[in-house]
Structure 1
Amino acid sequence: MIEEMWARIERLEYHQKLLLELVDMAEHPFTKLIIRKNLGRQEVSDFLELCERMNNKLQEQKAEGFLNFHPLLKEFAEELNKKLEVKETVQSCLQQSLYVELMTEFNKYVS
């Protein structure tokens, strides 16, 4: 019974990898990153909440006349899931048009 379950899990993982090769991930690089880094639903939700908080801070700082957002990037990096790398995450979000204004500012510092 347990061996059968493991065999099914291995087959599902294999099929998942094959499906990733079939799908045009050029349009969905952040989604591909989620799968490649094996993030769960809660981890993605936490990431999206982090982006919302950072985006709100960006808007507040812009309204106050800030021009340098490196400290905001540093805060983002410290709170980012350890499975994710900052540069790769920022660039994949930009390519998938997620949090464009925020990621554009961050991209100035990671490129």
Structure 2
Amino acid sequence: MKENDELLYRINVLEYHQKLLLKLLSDPNLDFYRLVIEYGLSEQEVRDFFQLCDNLTEKMEEQKAEGFVYFHPLFSEFSRFLPARMDVNEVMQSCLRQKLFEPLFTEINKCL
């Protein structure tokens, strides 16, 4: 049963990557999606990533409203929860180029 689960998981990842490849054909500037494929991320891992970015964006907005101007703790949290096999700087730059979570990554990119 365990072997079947692994095969099913791999098939699902391949199907997800195929969908992303079709998007890349129509817009080759989708850098984050390219990284998803290169790093072999599953659809669930990408959903988790987007949820992390949503949460960090909310925290950043709350902190800005309170007068914060330094967001290194958000950068640290992002780095901790990013899949270990991914490069933090590469992910942030690809998201900025694809205009994903642009305000968040513009701010935490300053921490590099």
TM superposition score normalised by structure 2: 0.75
Q: Give the fraction of aligned pairs with identical amino acids, expressed as a percent.
A: 48
The aligned residue for residue 68 of structure 1 is: 70
For the 8 Å contact 1:28–1:96, the answer to whether it is kept is yes
Structure 1 pair 25–33 and aligned structure 2 pair: CA distance change class (3 A): farther
Question: For residues 26 and 55 of structure 1, what CA distance do their matches in structure 2 show?
Answer: 26
Root mean square deviation of aligned Cα: 2.2
Question: For residues 98 and 71 of structure 1, what CA distance do their matches in structure 2 show?
Answer: 20
Deviations 1:21-60 (A, max 9, x none): x947751100000000000011000000000000000000
Amino acid corresponding to residue 65 of structure 1 in structure 2: G
Which among 86, 91, 101 is matched to residue 84 of structure 1? 86
> Which segments of 5 or more consecutive residues in structure 2 lack a partner in the other structure?
1-10
1:30 counterpart = 2:32: yes
> Aligned pairs, how many?
94
List structure 1 runs of 4+ shifted beyond 2 angstroms: 22-26
> Which segments of 5 or more consecutive residues in structure 1 lack a partner in the other structure?
1-8
